[in-house]
Amino acid sequence: MYLLKFNRKIPAGLFPALFVLAFASLWCLFGCEKAPRSTTLENVLKAGELTVITRNNAHCYYIYRDQAMGFEYDLAKAFADYLGVRLKVKIAEKWEGMIPALNSEDGAFIAASMTITPKRQKQAVFSNGYKEIQQYIITHRSNLSVKRVEDLAGKTVHVRQGTSYQERLEALRKQGLDIKVKLHVDIPTQELIRQVAEKEIEITIADSNIALLNRRYYPRIEIGDPINEKEYLGWVVNRNSLELRDRINTFFEEIKKSGELTRVYNKYYKDVETFDYVDLRAYHRRLETRLPRYKRIIMEAANRHDFDWRLIAAQTYQESHFDPKAKSHAGAIGLMQLTLSTARSLGVKNILDPVENIDAGVQHLSNLYELFDEAEGSNRLFLALAAYNIGQGHIRDAQNLARKMNLDPNKEVSLLKTLPLLEYAKYYKKTNFGYARGTEAIQYFKRIMIYYDILKQQGIEYTGIPSRQYIL
Active site members: 319
Q: Are 108 and 245 in contact (CB under 8 A)?
A: no
Distance CA 406, CA 184 (A): 54
440-441-443-447 Cα dihedral, nearest 10 degrees: 130
Distance CA 78, CA 264 (A): 10
- Three-state SS for 309? helix
Distance CA 326, CA 422 (A): 28
User: Phi, psi at residue 439, to the nearest 5°?
Assistant: -65, -35
Cβ-Cβ contacts under 8 Å for 257 (sequence gap 6 or more): none
Which one-letter DSSP state was computed for residue 131?
E
- Three-state SS for 432? coil
For residue 404, what are the CA distances in angstroms to 390, 398, 409? Answer: 21, 10, 10
Q: Are 145 and 211 in contact (CB under 8 A)?
A: no
User: Phi, psi at residue 243, to the nearest 5°?
Assistant: -65, -40
Distance CA 90, CA 102 (A): 11
Distance CA 49, CA 88 (A): 7
Cβ-Cβ contacts under 8 Å for 20 (sequence gap 6 or more): none
What is the identity of the amino acid at 329?
H
Q: Are 97 and 185 in contact (CB under 8 A)?
A: no
Distance CA 249, CA 272 (A): 27
Our measurement of the distance from residue 315's CA atom to the centroid of its chain's CA atoms, rounded to an integer in Å, reads 22
| DSSP result, 369-423 | HHHTTTS-HHHHHHHHHHHHHH-HHHHHHHHHHHHHTT--TT-HHHHHHHGGGGG
Q: Are 101 and 466 in contact (CB under 8 A)?
A: no
Q: Are 248 and 223 in contact (CB under 8 A)?
A: no
Distance CA 276, CA 279 (A): 5
